[in-house]
Amino acid sequence: MFMHTIWDVRGCSLEISTNSIWFSVEYRLSPEYKYPIWLNDCIEVTKYIIENKTLYGETSTKVGVAGDSAGGAIAAVICHTLKNIDFQILVYPLTNMLASFPSSKRFTDVQYGLIPILRHWFNDNAIRDGNDMRDARVSVIFQSSFTGLPPCLFIVAELDPLLDDKYQKLLDKAGIKTKLVLIKGVIHSFFHLPGIFPKSCQQAVEAIRDFVAQV
């Protein structure tokens, strides 16, 4: 069995660990390219992989999407847009730009990385105006339905302002198979920092490997 996963983290190789093929999508970035350009880029690439998966595997090939932070939100939206995704991997995803989580009030010190002023800066540069924050293709938590989605692995960081994100609960309520892995003692974006968090990154990789093997 072959598995292809669309991943948005540049330089992140999981091919050996999961015995699968991973594609890193070089979508156009903000602030030069605001929503919906970057989302449409990712959707189009995913559609291409699905329609041409025999070029990389065979007809039984499974296709999944994955991403971290805003990339996790993009992966989640793709699953709502394209109904033939086989699995999704969301690493500390930002699913609601409007939300003020209890965790976002606990982890406001600069040591936690994603402080409120930085999060607002990212939001302001990624979208056109405040109306986009309520768009279900930006804040996926506003989707009208959560049924029919593929199984989902959530990887979350213990010291993350997004720790209390509620997206998994919505999927669980809709009957979607989910699994949550809490990585203790790490901040948002730890997965980009294997030199600083080697054991934590390895734990995340092993969780992804086990999840993909069971899909």
94-112 pLDDT per residue, tens: 999 887 788 888 888 888 7
- Is 0.85 topped by the overall pTM? yes
Per-residue pLDDT tens over the stretch 67-98: 999 899 999 999 999 988 999 999 999 999 88
pLDDT score for 39: 96
pLDDT band at 7 (very low <50, low <70, confident <90, very high): very low
Residue boundaries of the structural domains of the chain: 3-214
| Contact of 159 with 187, CB cutoff 8 Å | yes
pLDDT band at 2 (very low <50, low <70, confident <90, very high): very low
- The pLDDT mean for the chain works out to 87
- Residue among 13, 20, 69, 100 flagged as catalytic: 69
149: DSSP letter: P
Percentage of residues of the chain with pLDDT beyond 70: 92
Q: What is the mean pLDDT of residues 124-148?
A: 92
* Cα distance between residue 33 and residue 126, in whole Å: 8
pLDDT reading at 1 higher than 80:
no
Q: Is 69 a catalytic residue?
A: yes
Q: What is the mean pLDDT of residues 113-117?
A: 79
Report phi then psi at 37, rounded to 5. -60, -50
134: DSSP letter: G
Per-residue pLDDT tens over the stretch 175-198: 999 999 999 999 999 998 888 999
Percentage of residues of the chain with pLDDT beyond 90: 59
* Strand partners of residue 89: 66, 153
pLDDT score for 190: 93
Instruction: State the SS3 of 150-208.
Output: CCEEEEEEEECCCCCCCHHHHHHHCCCCEEEEEEEEEECCHHHCCCCCHHHHHHHHHHH
pLDDT score for 6: 46
Select 3-214's CATH number: 3.40.50.1820, 3.40.640.10, 3.30.70.141, 3.40.50.970. 3.40.50.1820
More confident residue, 57 or 48: 48
